[in-house]
Amino acid sequence: MPPGEAPYGNQGRPLAPQPPQQQSHHQFHPPLQPLLPAQQPFNHHPLQLQHQQRLPPLHVPSRPQPILPHPQFAHPYAGASQQFTSHHLPPHQVQHSPVQYVHPVYAQQQQQQQQQQQRPAQLYPSNPPQQQYPHYAAFQTPAPVLQPAPSPAQLQSPVQFVNPSYFQHTPAPRPTEHILSPASQPRPVPNASPTINRPVQQPIQTPRQLPAQPQVQTPVQPAQPTQPTQPTQPTQPAPPPQRAQSVQHVAQSPVQPPLHTPVQPTFQPPTQHPAPQPMPVKPTPKPQPQEKLTPAPVPQGTPKLLAKEPRRLSSSAGVAKSPAIPQASSHVDLLPVLIHVAEDCFEKANAAAQQIARSMTADEVAEHHKLVATGLGCLDVALKSNKLWPRLEARLCLRYTSVLIEETTNITEAETTLTRGIAVCERHRFLDLKYCSQFLLMKTLFQRNQKAAFKSIDSHIADCTTYKHVPWIYAFRFLKAAFHFQTGTAADNHAIENLRKIAGIAHQRQDRAIFVLAMLLEGLGHLSAMKDDWATRVQMCIAQVSKLQLDDSVHTPQTDILALFLDLACSLHQKAHQISAQKMGALQKRLEELKQTQDWSLHFGEMLLPINRMPNAQQIVSADTSAVVRPGEGVDYLVVSTLGRQEAFALGFVLNGIVAHYKATTTGRASGSWGEAIRLLEDTKHLPPAQSLPEALKQTRWAKELSCYAHLLTGLQASTLSDWAKVKACLQVVEKIDPQSEFLSLLGLYLEAVFWQGTASLDKALAIWKDERFEMDWSGAPTTGNRIAYELSILAILNRLWIMQDPVHMDDGETAELLDLLRPICEDNPDQDIRTVYNLVLASIRTNPPLSINQVKRHIQQSLAGAQQTNNKQHLAIALNIMRARLFENVVGEQALKSAKAGAAQARKSGNVLWMSVAEGMLAQSFEMQGALNEARATHESGVRLANEAYNKTQAGGLA
């Protein structure tokens, strides 16, 4: 039979209750002697058994016992594991490797028996048998152990098992490494040891000797044995009441026929011993059926394993484990799977974000949204799990919220999740994750309530200042500066004060890279505001940066290029074109040096600003905060998003075109620079790294807006050359791009009005100039509040005044009103070009009443001075020709001829075909007035040719 499956006692019948004991080890034992009738006396005859109340202790040298695999049924009693060898027994009693199974409740019930009985229990009836075992006294060994019943195919009669405790007399020593300590071993009561006559059979294989895949035999229903005498069966006593509900009886096993025996009495246990109950044993986790481990049939009388069982401490440490093979647990921890699936979805979605941002097809966008929704769902399920340890929970809240803010508009859920994560960080003192979560919460709050975001960020800055967490002071203050730039208040006093505090802390702690960036941002704030002393303030910021130019630690590619851009933009706003050309040369030189550098990514990337680490500081920076503050070797780094190398080159080409337009040595140089910028921005050969779709859309939108600006500049320059076909092409490209910027849309509207005016569609042009976006209130402020819109509105009114010089559109009242509106705005305007154009218009238009000749001369003089100061050849050509038309019309003299020649020469330098034809016509008239008819005829023919060319361009632009 399989180990652990044989019934205890007499073939399934309940045994007398025994004292409780610990878990037992099943072991191999020698074969037992035959069990004889209890009526025969105990003597030296082999078939006689003498009844005795108490036997003297038997002292036989013990031998170490082999250990069976199963630890639950090993015998724990001292002396119960002795083996007999075949030479100690008669030949007819020799057995081969049987297995003894002992009852596990004996040790637990021993104390109850001693309380119930004052003397040793009688195992046999009062009438002793007449025969004795002749070899029993010679061996004087403890009771040999029983052998399990053979297979059904070998038995002809039932074989009964007796409790092996009846055969124990005195404890025998056993190996200490396989048993419990003596203190935990119960001492058995010595009793007479009946034996059982069994035929010789083959040894049963242990679980280690079994084949890999045994065949299970079907149990055969045995027949009842034939007995010469029919002894009366005693009534089985009921189990103790305290064990009735916790111990289950062994089921009756089928009776198997014996092989051969002439007389086979049945052992009758005494009536004073109640039947022992099987000890519940703790089951192993999900064992395999026992019939898979042994070819023997599985009996039905195996006791059930209870859930609660005292665990042995050390007795089973050296015993082989149970042959039952536990099944693998079906429970799988899905938390890592959910997190990895979410990250895989985000990674796959971000990898295609740049391509989707450029195409924006419905299928690709739907697939991207599906991936992001799947990832967010996995993170949401993971956050609802109760198996998150605190730091993982805080990290999941941060990751979930960052994706939620970037990819969705669910601000409320993002704030709720961030609040949960911040609470976990405060409870477990995760300062790094706490500051990073608060940083993200400020960005979320700014989208919903800007005033609340400014107020909250000030409180976080105060907390960081109190605990001297300098990296996060920088992070929160730079975030506040970014909020000021987004709201258009970068030049306000509190915004400038915030940047100066950053510079002060950085200067005190020798964080020079932080100091340089703070000063450059302050300069950009002054440049965007354009207040009274903006140029001086910008130059002061640039001077503070230039003081550290000899320090190599502050020289990063991004900050160097940003300083050069700021300096060049300041000079362009001041209309210092000669100085701008020099600064443009320095910028081009630095860009060429950085063309192949590896310290600057090709596309939008990051700039790392080193921060000196404080000694013995708390852990406020870790790998989990790398998106804001990144740890390094000995220093920490503040992460700032910057332009990539390719975007910086494109911006440099745009500025180079503006400088070249004022220089105008060659006609197509400016448009060539803008075309190169457009080519770089539309290059898809080198795509940026993987990032979220909203970030990719933002970068793509920035590139499209810069490209749109380059197209608008190209169209404006083409309008000065009367190339109206090119102007219309640029307008079509801008309309296709559909810029979201208010400035670009207004500039596109301005170019459209210029196109209609240049192609002689004055009604359409006048309708656009009267658009509400170009309106100004009577205080002189633009309705939109933007400085660029303010300047474009001034130019729109000036163009309306010129159109109203046509007799069809003349309106003296409206002209007077517009002049009254422009006079306080333009006369003292800080922009020199605005003042120049205003003077040109006043010198050329006719008013009612008309201006005096002195006023006209003053306006012409101021326009000439302004054009020369700004080196604007277009303005200078217009001013000279207006002077010739207003002051030297029908005048004979050298001065009139010089004025006409100067106007024609300057018009040819400007490249404007229309103004060239006008200047040639006035010069021909001057030649004619002087009597130089040949020169007058040649100049007139040149003027006609240029006029036809201008007309053809106008018609081509109208038909394009």
Q: Cα separation of 911 and 671, whole Å?
A: 14
Of 50, 106, 105, 58, nearest in space to 84 by CA: 58
pLDDT of residue 445: 94
Beta carbons of 875 and 836 less than 8 angstroms apart? yes
Per the structure block, which two tokens stand in for 240?
């103790």
Q: Is the dihedral of CA 869, 870, 873, 875 positive or negative?
A: negative
Beta carbons of 584 and 658 less than 8 angstroms apart? no
Give the chain's radius of gyration (CA, Å): 53
Q: What percent of the chain has pLDDT over 90?
A: 44
Average pLDDT of every residue of the chain = 74
Task: Render pLDDT for 379-418 as a digit per residue (tens, 0 to 9).
Answer: 999 999 888 999 999 999 999 999 999 999 999 999 999 9
Q: Cα separation of 606 and 91, whole Å?
A: 94
Per the structure block, which two tokens stand in for 582?
């020099």
Per the structure block, which two tokens stand in for 959?
């038909």
Q: Cα separation of 50 and 62, whole Å?
A: 26
pTM: 0.66
Q: Cα separation of 163 and 30, whole Å?
A: 15
Task: Render pLDDT for 912-930 as a digit per residue (tens, 0 to 9).
Answer: 899 999 999 999 999 998 8
Of 160, 155, 148, 149, nearest in space to 100 by CA: 148
Task: Report the DSSP pairing between strands 24-25 and 73-74.
Answer: parallel
- Write the DSSP assignment of 167-211 as a string of letters: G--S-----TTSS--GGGPPPPPP-----------PPPPPTTTS-
| Helix 693-720 with 390-407: angle, nearest 10 deg | 30
Beta carbons of 649 and 680 less than 8 angstroms apart? yes
pLDDT of residue 722: 87
- Write the DSSP assignment of 1-13 as a string of letters: --TTTSPSTTTTS
Residue 216 vs residue 718, higher pLDDT:
718
**Stretch among 111-115, 295-299, 489-493, 839-843 having the lowest mean pLDDT:** 295-299
Residue 421 has pLDDT above 70, yes or no: yes
| Helix 557-573 with 577-593: angle, nearest 10 deg | 170
Residue 522 has pLDDT above 90, yes or no: yes
Q: Cα separation of 527 and 568, whole Å?
A: 11
The CA-atom distances, in angstroms, between 818 and each of 619, 792, 797, 806, 842 are 66, 15, 7, 16, 11
Task: Render pLDDT for 850-883 as a digit per residue (tens, 0 to 9).
Answer: 999 999 999 999 999 999 888 888 899 999 999 9
The angle subtended at Cα 472 by Cα 467 and Cα 478, nearest 5°, is 135
- Write the DSSP assignment of 224-239 as a string of letters: PPP-SS-PPPPPPPPP
pLDDT of residue 105: 55
Q: Cα separation of 318 and 314, whole Å?
A: 8
Per the structure block, which two tokens stand in for 623?
């790998």
Strands (DSSP E) along 203-354, which ranges?
none
Residue 689 has pLDDT above 70, yes or no: yes
The H or E element containing residue 806 is: none
Task: Render pLDDT for 750-807 as a digit per residue (tens, 0 to 9).
Answer: 999 999 999 989 999 999 999 998 988 776 665 556 788 889 999 999 999 999 999 9
Q: Cα separation of 565 and 840, whole Å?
A: 32
Q: Which of the listed ranges 310-324, 554-568, 603-617 does the model predict with the highest average pLDDT? A: 554-568
Instruction: Assign 235 a pLDDT band (cuts: 50, 70, 90).
Output: very low
The CA-atom distances, in angstroms, between 494 and each of 468, 501, 640, 947 are 22, 10, 22, 57
Place of tokens 């990063």: 556
Place of tokens 């120049």: 836
Per the structure block, which two tokens stand in for 900?
């006409």
The H or E element containing residue 400 is: helix 390-407
- How many C-beta atoms lie closer than 10 Å to residue 576's C-beta? 17
Place of tokens 């745009």: 654
Instruction: Please tell me the number of Cα atoms within 13 Å of 56 on its side-chain side.
Output: 5
CA 101 to chain centre: 60
The angle subtended at Cα 310 by Cα 304 and Cα 311, nearest 5°, is 100
Per the structure block, which two tokens stand in for 457?
């960020």
pLDDT of residue 85: 40
Beta carbons of 69 and 323 less than 8 angstroms apart? yes
CA dihedral 529, 535, 536, 540 (to 10 degrees): 80
Beta carbons of 679 and 924 less than 8 angstroms apart? no
For residue 245, count CB atoms less than 10 angstroms from its CB and return exposed for 0-12, middle for 13-18, buried for 19 or more.
exposed
Instruction: Please tell me the number of Cα atoms within 13 Å of 217 on its side-chain side.
Output: 15
Burial per residue of 100-112, b for 16 or more beta-carbon CB atoms within 10 angstroms, e otherwise: bbbbbbbbbbbeb
Q: Which residues lie below 8 Å from residue 568, measured CB to CB, with a gap of 6+?
A: 580, 583, 584, 587, 655, 659
Q: Cα separation of 881 and 526, whole Å?
A: 39
Backbone phi, psi, residue 619, to 5°: -80, 95
Instruction: Assign 831 a pLDDT band (cuts: 50, 70, 90).
Output: confident
The H or E element containing residue 99 is: strand 99-100
Q: Which residues lie below 8 Å from residue 309, measured CB to CB, with a gap of 6+?
A: 23, 280, 281, 282
Instruction: Assign 116 a pLDDT band (cuts: 50, 70, 90).
Output: low
pLDDT of residue 754: 95
The H or E element containing residue 307 is: none
pLDDT of residue 715: 94
- Write the DSSP assignment of 135-155 as a string of letters: THHHH--SPPPP-----TTT-
Instruction: Assign 488 a pLDDT band (cuts: 50, 70, 90).
Output: confident
Q: Is the dihedral of CA 350, 355, 357, 361 positive or negative?
A: negative
- Write the DSSP assignment of 606-656 as a string of letters: EEEEEEEPPTT------GGGTTTEEE-SSEEEEEEEE--HHHHHHHHHHHH
Q: Cα separation of 812 and 819, whole Å?
A: 11
